[in-house]
Amino acid sequence: MSLLEVKNLEVEFPTRRGTLRAIDDVSFSIEPGEVLGVVGESGAGKSLTGASIIGLLEPPGRVSGGQILLEGSRIDDLPYDKMRHIRGKKIGAIFQDPLTSLNPLYTVSRQLTETILVHMDMTQEQARARAIELLDEVGIPAAEKRIDSYPHEFSGGMRQRVVIALAICANPKLIVADEPTTALDVSIQAQIIALLKRLCKDHKTAVMLITHDMGVIAETADRVAVMYAGRIVEVGKVRDVIKDAKHPYTKGLMGSIPVVGHEVEVLQQIDGSMPRLTEIPEGCAFHSRCPDAIDKCFKNRPDLMPTGGPSTAACWLYDTETVNG
């Protein structure tokens, strides 16, 4: 059984000018211990997918269709109170900005022990000991001394380590990490990626890694889902998607990333930009930017289908009926 299963997820935002569908029929699963990368440009819906899973969708946004199953039982329709016990205990979360995800008025010790006491049956002393152990594990030097510091006394990289310690403190099965390295410098990014990889291996924790940076995905993830305009356009093993992308959007995306060692005069570019939610066209949302668009792309929306290669893509070019007929 998959650890997490998302089936036909839809997220909508009611507005004065009608309902906006930000996530449209997204399905994927995460196996125990697996790192699934979710990549896409801003506005593709990757963060909303993450927020729906941890039940932190900001109103008026709401899950309007589909199911989210954790270890086989639905979590998308749980009342707030029940969800509180899953969030933190079974699903940990890491956000982009480590300064805003920590409370500046409480010491790190208080924030860690609070979370531990909520989710685990421990005394205050045990919780503190566990907090120190956790800080040590995420690589904070002199954890015993630093635990009574406030968040502002840590550097950006160290703060993100504290946030990771918070996310893993109840031994969750799944961590949703939304752009965990985007606010950090490159050398710190490399350290945080290495730390995340080590922790998942040691604890067999699955990670849903949301990022716009294909490089981070290449370094960390086992599988990757590429999102575009609220839908998944391609899913596959990271190596396959990077080396042999099938969907025209993924191909364009890979070609537009400058790579050290590959000398190119002109980067491949995808003209235009992703449509706004109010202007998502009929048919495949990518058709206006797609170099290979055929008639069908303007009318019908493709679902994920086998491509003849190792990954699956939502593109009519791989539909045998369309191509042959």
Partner 1 sequence: MDNTMQGALHGAALLKVRDLAKHFDVSKPWLARVLENQPKQILKAVDGISFEIKKGETFSLVGESGCGKSTVAKLIVGLHGPSGGEILFDGANLNEAIKRKDANQVRRRWQMIFQDPYASLNPRWRVRDIVSEPIRVFKLASSSAEIRDRVGELLTQVGLSPADGDKFPHEFSGGQRQRISIARALSSDPEFLVCDEPTSALDVSVQAQILNLMKDLQRRLGLTYLFISHNLAVVYHVSDRIGVMYLGRLCEVATANDLFKSPKHPYTRLLLNTIPDMDMTGIERAPVQGEVPNPIDPPSGCAFHPRCPLANERCKREAPLLQEDGGSLIACHAVEENRQA
Residues that bind partner 1 (CB under 8 A): 41-42, 155, 157-158, 185-191, 194, 212-216, 218-219, 238-239, 242-243, 252-253, 255-261, 263-271, 273-274
> What's the min distance (Å) between Cβ of 32 and partner 1?
23
> What's the min distance (Å) between Cβ of 179 and partner 1?
13
Nearer CB in complex with partner 1: 1/266: 266
Nearer CB in complex with partner 1: 157/180: 157
Return all residues near 66 (Cβ < 8 A) that are at least 6 apart. 6, 7, 8, 9, 10, 25, 26, 27, 76
Nearer CB in complex with partner 1: 174/214: 214
> What's the min distance (Å) between Cβ of 296 and partner 1?
24
Asked if 122 contacts 173 with a C-beta cutoff of 8 angstroms, the reply is: no
Dihedral of alpha carbons 172, 174, 176, 181, sign? positive
Locate 202 and state its tokens.
Answer: 């040691």
> What's the min distance (Å) between Cβ of 293 and partner 1?
16
> What's the min distance (Å) between Cβ of 76 and partner 1?
29
> What's the min distance (Å) between Cβ of 270 and partner 1?
4
Helix (H/G/I), strand (E/B), else coil: 265: coil
Nearer CB in complex with partner 1: 91/221: 221
Alpha carbon 223 to its chain centroid, in Å, reads 12
Helix (H/G/I), strand (E/B), else coil: 135: helix
Name the residue with tokens 């924790």.
205
Is the peptide bond prior to 60 cis by the omega test (within 30 degrees of 0)?
yes
CA quadruple 52, 55, 60, 63: dihedral, nearest 10: 50
Helix (H/G/I), strand (E/B), else coil: 93: strand
Nearer CB in complex with partner 1: 32/215: 215
CA quadruple 192, 217, 61, 83: dihedral, nearest 10: -60
Nearer CB in complex with partner 1: 53/164: 164
